[in-house]
Amino acid sequence: MIPLLEWAGRQALFTLDPETAHGLSITALKTGMPICAPAPQDARLALRIAGLDFPNPLGVAAGYDKNAEVPDALLGLGFGFAEVGTVTPLPQQGNPRPRIFRLVADGAVVNRLGFNNDGHARCLERLTARKTRPGIVGVNIGANKDAEDRIADYEAGIRRFAPLASYLTVNISSPNTPGLRDLQGRERLAELLARVVEARRQAVGEPARATPVFLKIAPDLTEADLDDVAAEVLDKGIDGLIVSNTTLARDGLSSRAHAREPGGLSGRPLFARSTAVLARMRRRLGPAVPIVGVGGVDDTETALEKIRAGADLVQLYTGMIYRGPSLAGRIVGGMLKFAEQEGLTTIAAIRDSRLDHWAGQPI
């Protein structure tokens, strides 16, 4: 259930075009006004993943706070971690507007923003200003559209943000920068990951203090592609995988308006595909490599199901557009209630309990 005030707020925001509504929501968060009750803190929800201590497994996915303007306000909504970005070395306008579309009947969004962002320098300034604050803030890095050497843009992102970020996400899965997803192919991926790991070594020195690097993949990969990604992640010692970004697929949509807009689809229709890919990657990577499950999470049950399919951590974005800013607190509260009812000492106990089911679903 969405609280009444929040529902009214959503109705008002939905009369605006999606990008204006998004800008307003960032402005509201910047005011620092308490928007909803704090999420519960409980040892049963806490996890240590990739050497980081997460207060709970639910994070806000990249793309909401592209410019690191409100990471602390997002943590204040109940998220256990916030991922800012995607940031590219130089500021970028992105694609012409309109470039975000709501598919209301499907609880989905199509976006073709194209990495609009303020660039590394501005984002670094903002993160430096909050450096002493607690909370896990990851930085998602990308490449400028016109970069001659795209891998060099990722190296620059690692060098810039490794000293400051809780973790770094190498995002090669946006469908809105032409050719970017080609970096997921075996040879290019091998080169990218080798150079990223070397850039991190140079940036932080001793391996013990190395900032974890996660790789974020598309849900539109074949079984052979997934084999290649898994092999390279293991070979290069990447610290974790984020599954998944938006999809190019348009299966099973009931919305007519905007369904054919070019771009990446997120939200409820992405849940099954992204969860099936997540379970396949858990099978390929084994139990030790951290995986973050993203795509179509919009309530406690879908968040728990990502964990059952093999995720250590979960993220969401589109769910918050439809269900409002109190969603994080409601999901975290629901997870705690579930742990109590089931007598669990840790929510991580349910991980992989539906791995076989999800790994058997078609992609």
Ligand X SMILES: Cc1cc2nc3c(=O)[nH]c(=O)nc-3n(C[C@H](O)[C@H](O)[C@H](O)COP(=O)(O)O)c2cc1C
DSSP assignment of 286-343, as one string? -SSS-EEEESS--SHHHHHHHHHTT-SEEEESHHHHHH-TTHHHHHHHHHHHHHHHHT
Kindly tell me which of 55 and 264 has the beta carbon lying closer to ligand X: 264
> Binding to ligand X by residue 326, rule CB under 6 A?
no
User: Which CB atom, from 44 or from 174, has the smaller least distance to ligand X?
Assistant: 174
Q: Which of 166, 184, 211, 318 binds ligand X (CB under 6 A)?
A: 318
One-letter amino acid of 110: V
CA atoms of 7 and 5, how far apart (whole Å): 5
Query: Residue 242 carries which side chain, given as an amino acid letter?
Result: I
Stretch that binds ligand X, among 7-15, 146-154, 251-259, 263-271 (CB under 6 A): 263-271
Q: Work out whether 219 is an interface residue with ligand X (CB under 6 A).
A: no
Interface residue with ligand X among 25, 95, 184, 245 (CB under 6 A) is 245
Evaluate the omega torsion of the peptide bond into residue 25 and state whether it is cis, within 30 degrees of 0.
no
CB of 321 to ligand X, least distance (A): 7
Of 205-213, 220-228, 253-261, 310-318, the window that binds ligand X (rule: CB under 6 A) is 310-318
Q: Which of 102, 216, 284, 308 is in the footprint of ligand X by CB under 6 A?
A: 216
Amino acid in the structure at residue 176: N
Phi and psi torsions of 197, nearest 5°: -65, -40
Q: With respect to ligand X, which residue has the nearer C-beta, 100 or 123?
A: 100
Catalytic position from the list 25, 166, 173, 174? 174
∠ at Cα 174 (157, 61), nearest 5°?
75
Between the alpha carbon of residue 120 and those of residues 66, 68, 157, 158, the distances in Å are 11, 10, 7, 11
Residues pairing with 139 in the sheet:
84, 168
Residues 173-212 that bind ligand X (CB under 6 A): 174
d(CA 265, CA 258): 11
Report the residue from 218, 270, 291, 331 that binds ligand X according to the rule CB under 6 A: 270
Task: Give the CA distances from residue 186 to residues 75, 140, 221, 332, in Å, rounded to whole numbers and listed in that order.
Answer: 36, 21, 12, 37
Report in angstroms how near the CB of residue 84 gets to ligand X at its nearest.
9
Q: Which is nearer to ligand X, 295 or 324 (CB)?
A: 295
- What number of other Cβ atoms are within 10 A of residue 84's Cβ? 28
Residue 66 binds ligand X, judged by CB under 6 A: yes
CB within 8 Å of 7: residues ≥ 6 apart: 324
Task: Check residue 331 for interaction with ligand X (CB under 6 A).
Answer: no
Structure tokens at 102: 């709501």
Residues 101-160 that bind ligand X (CB under 6 A): 109, 111, 113, 140
Cα dihedral across residues 90, 95, 101, 106: positive or negative: negative
Instruction: Give least dist CB 176 to ligand X, A.
Output: 8
Nearer to ligand X, 44 or 281 (CB): 281
Q: Does 61 bind ligand X (CB under 6 A)?
A: yes
Q: Name the residue whose CB lies closest to ligand X.
A: 63
d(CA 68, CA 132): 15
Which DSSP helix (H) or strand (E) runs through 49? strand 47-49
Under rule CB under 6 A, how many of the chain's residues touch ligand X? 27
353 is catalytic: no
Q: Is 300 in the site for ligand X (CB under 6 A)?
A: no
Query: Does 317 contact ligand X by CB under 6 A?
Result: yes
Name which of 123 and 297 has its Cβ closer to ligand X: 297
Q: Which of 92, 166, 177, 246 binds ligand X (CB under 6 A)?
A: 246
Q: Which is nearer to ligand X, 61 or 278 (CB)?
A: 61
Catalytic residue set: 174
Residues lying near ligand X in the complex (CB under 6 A) = 61-63, 66, 85-86, 100, 109, 111, 113, 140, 171, 174, 216, 245-246, 266-267, 270, 294-297, 316-319
